[in-house]
Amino acid sequence: MQSKSIDALIIGAGIAGLYQLYQLREAGMSVQCVDAAEDIGGTWHWNCYPGARLDSPSYTYQYWFSQELLDEWQWSERFPGQAEIKRYLHYVADKFDLRDRVQLNTRIASAHWDESAARWVVTSEAGQVWRARYLISCVGMLSAPKLPPFAGHDQFKGDIVHTARWPQQGIDLTGKRVGVVGTGATGIQVIQTIASQVAQLTVFQRTPQYAVKMNNYPLTGAQGDYWRSRHKQFAESLPNTFGGFEWDLPELGWATSLSVKERRQWLEECWADGSLKMWVGTFPEVLFDEKINEEVSIFAREKIRAAIDDPLLADKLIPTSFGFGTYRVPLENGYYAAYARDNVELVDVSESPIERFTENGLLVAGREYPLDVLIMATGFDAGTGSLTAMDVRGRDQLSLRELWSRDIRSTLGLQVHGFPNLFTIAGPLAPSTAFCNMTTCLQQQVEWVSDAINYISSNAIASMEPTKERQDRWVEHHDEVANATLLANTNGWYTGGNIVGKPRRLLSYIGGVGTYRQLCADIAASGYQGFTLRAQ
């Protein structure tokens, strides 16, 4: 098949990919965006499971580059559902005429760097080939679903569905016996939504989470006007905060300067906000200091216990083996209440793991749980999974998959030594991997990449990649910050601990979004010091 020469190929048409496409097209480049899905939207296309909902306030979860867009678009709620966010992305694609440069139903199989031509040779699974100067991965950090290999799945006569592969036309669960494996943010949203629709709901829980009661409300009238009046301020302030949200973490040391009573009052305020402020807006010490963390954990446990009538059930649903905020904190809206229903059963699989499928359901501790549908809310191979699913080879045939199977390294999550002109938006070791209000971090990274590409193009440079020394320095700094936190030893997707054999490292940079933004800006201002810029 003939190849097509272009300036830039973007993989992924979600929040990052669409903005990257807009930026490079505006810079006058020939650019093609491809996506494996049948529609644009990325995460917000794939995750159309029941109850999928935003957990960042919508008024901070949007593009800031167009005042017209900000003026025209109205969010209906503080935490809107998946369909509304997807509609927003459609609106953006239409308004800025992006669709004709997006090729859907196109999964990339391989991308090989041709050093002599300084081009990426990118091939789709269907055999289509592009030769591109720049390859920009916008594949998302939570996009490669994890499916635990329970034995006997081909015997099971019911349906098995992963939440991130939910059929677009939906599944009618009315009157069915449904099982859910997984009680992370996704499982919680599914369970609280379908409990009243199904005949019987069986939840297979291995690790309970500290879920914070969501405070959602309509953004009509005065509420909407209030938040809209703050758009300009948000556009400037969000990239300079710790987590990219409208609230910031107070100064280190503040928690210990308060009395226990004052800290409690502050926690009450943060809890009442009903948002991730409870996670990245209370005290920085929650993430570093075991004593303060335990105090916040006790507070959260009390709140959860108060929401559950049955004390034995509460014991099962309240985490005790890890501290608050050391896993990503989910928001809930009726999750704990769902367990009070007669048709909902909680099965603890922490001691006795799920053994296998039978013809009729799942077997746990010798008991068969009959099911018509099993929902896998089992998460993702985060940060690296979608990149390593492709055969990406840089200089000297260096394989990204092989490299990251040994050790996950990158330079600010944006580039990898050995892979010239490959840019990885939301790649591992940046705040955008997990520790950020995603739109804040994605826009900052897209803008940095666009600036870098414009710099290369206008300075007769053939290729750009970080030096090994620059990368080593970043990884060392990343590890130093990460290992000072209480998150470094958790077993969830944050550290790769949820995937058997995955090298362990906190996937997200946790030094703060503002600090990271400044570091990126300094690199650009220095003419990309620490990066090898090869002349054409």
Residues in contact with ligand NAP by the rule CB under 6 A: 53-55, 142, 148, 181-187, 189, 204, 206-207, 328, 349, 354, 377-379, 492-493, 498
The alpha-carbon radius of gyration of the chain (Å, integer) is 23
- Tokens 């940046």 correspond to what residue? 430
Residue length of the chain:
536
Residue 146 CB, nearest distance to ligand NAP (Å)?
Answer: 7
Q: Residue 262, exposed/middle/buried by CB under 10 A (0-12, 13-18, 19+)?
A: exposed
Q: Residue 147, exposed/middle/buried by CB under 10 A (0-12, 13-18, 19+)?
A: middle
Residue 380 CB, nearest distance to ligand NAP (Å)?
Answer: 6
- Of 180 and 449, CB closest to ligand NAP: 180
Q: What are phi and psi of 414, to 5 degrees?
A: -105, -35
As a whole number of angstroms, the distance between CA 261 and CA 353 comes to 41
Task: Read off the amino acid at residue 363.
Answer: L
Residue 378 CB, nearest distance to ligand NAP (Å)?
Answer: 4
51 is written with which tokens? 């109850």
Residue 29 CB, nearest distance to ligand NAP (Å)?
Answer: 32
- Of 198 and 354, CB closest to ligand NAP: 354
Residue 79 CB, nearest distance to ligand NAP (Å)?
Answer: 8
- Of 378 and 444, CB closest to ligand NAP: 378
10 Cβ contact partners less than 8 Å away, ≥ 6 residues apart: 17, 20, 21, 24, 31, 32, 33, 34, 136, 138
As a whole number of angstroms, the distance between CA 449 and CA 457 comes to 12
Residue 494 CB, nearest distance to ligand NAP (Å)?
Answer: 8
Pairing status of strand 119-124 against strand 129-137: antiparallel
Residue 336 CB, nearest distance to ligand NAP (Å)?
Answer: 15
- Of 390 and 507, CB closest to ligand NAP: 507
Residue 170 CB, nearest distance to ligand NAP (Å)?
Answer: 18
**CA 211 distance to own-chain centroid:** 17
- Of 124 and 192, CB closest to ligand NAP: 192
- Of 281 and 418, CB closest to ligand NAP: 281
Residue 188 CB, nearest distance to ligand NAP (Å)?
Answer: 7
108 Cβ contact partners less than 8 Å away, ≥ 6 residues apart: 11, 34, 36, 122, 123, 124, 125, 390
- Of 85 and 387, CB closest to ligand NAP: 85
Greatest distance between any 2 Cα atoms in the chain: 70
137 is written with which tokens? 């991965």
- Of 148 and 250, CB closest to ligand NAP: 148
Query: Other CB atoms closer than 10 Å to residue 486's CB: what's the count?
Result: 18
Q: Which residues pair with 531 in a beta bridge?
A: 466
- Of 283 and 322, CB closest to ligand NAP: 322
